[in-house]
Amino acid sequence: MNKNINIKSLIIDKPLKLDCGQTINNFPLAYETYGSLNEKKDNAILVFHALTGDQFVSGINPITKKDGWWSYAVGPGKAIDTDKYFVICANVIGGCLGSFGPSNTNSETNKIYGTTFPVITINDMVNAQHNLLEFLKIEKLFAVMGGSMGGMQVLQFVSNFPSKAKIAIPIACTSSHSAQNIAFNELGRQSIMADANWLDGSYANQNKNPDKGLSVARMAAHITYLSKNGLQEKFGRKLQERDDLKFSFDADFQIESYLRYQGSVFVDRFDANSYLYITRAMDYFDLTKEYNGNLSKAFEKTKTKFLLISFTSDWLYPTSENKEIVIALNAIGADVAFVEIESDKGHDSFLLDVPEFLNTLKNYINNSYLKN
């Protein structure tokens, strides 16, 4: 991370008991806001980011100099209109863009935490971010929303703070990680830990970087964000800038070159240990288990209105897993709407220019706000 970039952060001075049993305090939580909080303070939307996201939802990310990760959805006149709404997004704890994470320095040892950082959960991430609402003096949010791991945080937030949000929009997510998803995350973690530069997680103290392992982890994960049809349509078996096979292990196919590029740019902006910690938090997420096998109980105290959104080609968090949440909400008579969006862009659909998705989001948000 470029230390010269001014990252907005809040030092949380009250102790936070983590699920692993450790307690942290006086730790930073980096965040960004968009738009203005109105006088009634009833137009605030808390957005939760996914695994490799950050607080820079819209506009230009000052670190990468690229568009914010949800620029298609958030901004003036967009689905989440920053001319109307006050949007807040924090970098999760365990992250690497200003919030407390494994790349921070331990004041007691004067060394970078690395894998001595405590293991964190989705619950810990959400509880840390709740401090932002107290800091901004927001009694009740208009909305909480997010896709993928962001959707998990939405579910956890409503469960933990049943009266803190008027509407909740979990997108392309699940109430607990499947064995398949745990397997994919473990593949990524093992790629990182097999890199000779990982050094048991203390690479930063020795000015090393397990960039090869992190790049492979990103490549493997990126495949899961796409769909078979989308990949076939975009790449097929097209060769990379040549007419015939090279009979080597260079990137003969365009899809190989694309994945290698995705891996190489990722290592410039993300910390390998953060990848380990955040994927672990996702794997540990299990709201059903938290409520003794009854997912409905997670939401029985809330009056929050829900809109769940899934995508037809998402095989990472398929529609069936999103529907399990809808069924649990229906069982307690919650106000819940569900939409499955037709898209061939796979899990990444929620990050891309998918008009039906963006229109659904915009209409639901605006209609809900009119009823405020």
Domains of the chain, by residue range, sit at 9-180+285-370, 182-278
Give the global pTM.
0.96
Return the CATH class of domain 9-180+285-370. alpha beta
CA distance 282 to 148: 10
Does the annotation count 314 as an active-site position?
yes
Question: Using CB atoms within 10 A of its CB, is residue 125 exposed (0-12), middle (13-18) or buried (19+)?
Answer: buried
| Terminal CA-CA length for the chain | 40
Does the annotation count 9 as an active-site position?
no
Given the residues 314, 344, 348, 349, select the one marked as catalytic. Answer: 314
Return the CATH class of domain 182-278. mainly alpha
- Do the two domains 9-180+285-370 and 182-278 of this chain adopt the same fold? no
Q: Which residues contact 228 (CB under 8 A, 6 or more apart)?
A: none
Kindly give the confidence (pLDDT) of every residue in the chain, 372 residues in length, as a single tens digit, with 9 standing for 90 and above: 444 467 899 999 999 999 999 999 999 999 999 999 999 999 999 999 999 999 999 999 998 899 999 999 999 999 999 999 999 999 999 999 999 999 999 999 999 999 999 999 999 999 999 999 999 999 999 999 999 999 999 999 999 999 999 999 999 999 999 999 999 999 999 999 999 999 999 999 999 999 999 999 999 999 999 999 888 888 888 887 777 787 888 878 888 988 998 999 999 999 999 999 999 999 999 999 999 999 999 999 999 999 999 999 999 999 999 999 999 999 999 999 999 999 999 999 999 999 999 999 999 999 999 886
Given the residues 99, 148, 159, 191, select the one marked as catalytic. Answer: 148
Does the annotation count 148 as an active-site position?
yes
Residue 195 phi, psi dihedral angles, 5° rounding: -70, 130
Given the residues 103, 344, 347, 348, select the one marked as catalytic. Answer: 347
